[in-house]
Amino acid sequence: MRGRIVVIALVSHATAASAQPNDPVARADALFREGRALIEAGNFDAACPKFEESQRLDPGLGTLLNLAACYEQVGKLASALTAFRSAEEQARAAGPGEKKREQTAAERARALEGRVARLAVIVTAAEQPAGFVVTRDGVPMRPLDFGRRVPVDPGTIVIAATAPGFEPFEREVVIARDTAARTVEIPALTPGAGTVDDAAPPATPDIAPPAGGADEPTPPASSRTRIAIGLAAAGVVGLGAGVGLGLSAKSRYDDVPCTQNGSPPMGCTAAEAARIDDARARGNLGTIVGGLGVAALAAGVVLYVTAPKGRAVVVAPVAGDGELGLTFAGRW
């Protein structure tokens, strides 16, 4: 990896020879050279801030590439990916003369895609109160980013949600280098006098499991809602099956000619009598199945109505670099 940074440094920050000592351009050039010296000494942690400040004072494509490579060395893969992508776009916009640096940035970005940890923030409530704001490490998030798996660097990330007149929500997520993806669900805020400045109980850190690990356990209060939905669905199926059996029985009974003579039928052959018995048995079965379906449907409705509220399932889009899908969020 060190060799790659040296290659990038060949197209480094350029400054005017006549720059004055207090000129931001001259300061940026000095910081860039200090960063390069630190990299040569293997001190990447100290080099990255030098490149950051140099890029802030006098943005340059060469500085940006060195900064991206430095981020990669210290494990800030999300920042490295963002910087390489930005360098790729800048080089492309600069024209054919920067084709080599464009290709370098694109290759380095592609190599990072599968190694970057990602975090999705999902708002489970269908509607939000006025003034609802979600922040990540104190920076407001755009609603368009909800549900999107964005690259994040390792470390502790604080997700908070606030709205005037509601209790605030806060969750800490610890992202490790081997974390593939994490999801934070923001429930419906509880009405109250809570504001951002009100005292709130300390948040319990949410330690991310290794890649492929299980998410946090599901609360037990969901079983009642699950049973209610299952009973209602079984009831609808049973009711439909009962009606179908009843109609089938009536059709079979009406098709027997001797049944026109009254009940009990008179003058029926043995075959016709057997068909009548089959129709009656089918009708009785339909009555039983339909009755059970009605009972199950009623029980499911009662359980669902009396179950705790605020546990709706939300389907949110998930988008990211090279991925598109849906996320089902909620608690049962």
Per-residue pLDDT reduced to its tens digit, 38-49: 999 999 999 999
Higher local confidence (pLDDT), 146 or 226: 146
Q: What's the rounded mean pLDDT across residues 190-215?
A: 54
Backbone angles phi, psi at 236, to 5 degrees: -60, -45
Check if CATH label 2.40.50 holds for domain 117-216.
Answer: no
pLDDT at residue 114 in the model? 87
- Per-residue model confidence (pLDDT) at position 217: 44
Q: Domain locations in the chain?
A: 2-113, 117-216, 222-306
Residue 314: its pLDDT value, please?
45
Confidence of residue 295 (pLDDT cuts 50, 70, 90): confident
The residue assigned the tokens 């504001």 is: 195
Residue 171 scores a pLDDT above 80: yes
State percent of the chain over pLDDT 70: 64
Query: Among 80-94, 191-205, 216-230, 281-295, which stretch is predicted with the lowest mean pLDDT?
Result: 191-205
Q: What is the pLDDT of residue 14?
A: 44
pLDDT at 21: 57
pLDDT band at 216, cuts 50/70/90?
Answer: very low
Q: Which CATH class is domain 2-113?
A: mainly alpha
Q: Which residue has the higher pLDDT, 40 or 248?
A: 40
pLDDT of residue 230: 77
Decide which of 253 and 123 is more confident. Answer: 123
Q: Name the region of 95 (left: φ>0; alpha: ψ -120 to 50; beta: rest).
A: left
| The predicted structure's pLDDT at residue 251 | 75
Q: What is the DSSP string of 238-298?
A: HHHHHHHHHHHHHHHHHT-GGGGG-SS-SS--HHHHHHHHHHHHHHHHHHHHHHHHHHHHH
Phi, psi (5° rounding) for residue 288?
Answer: -65, -50
User: What average pLDDT does the chain have?
Assistant: 77
| pLDDT for 315 | 44
| pLDDT reported for residue 220 | 45
Q: In the predicted model, is pLDDT for residue 59 greater than 80?
A: yes
Model confidence at 289: pLDDT above 80: no
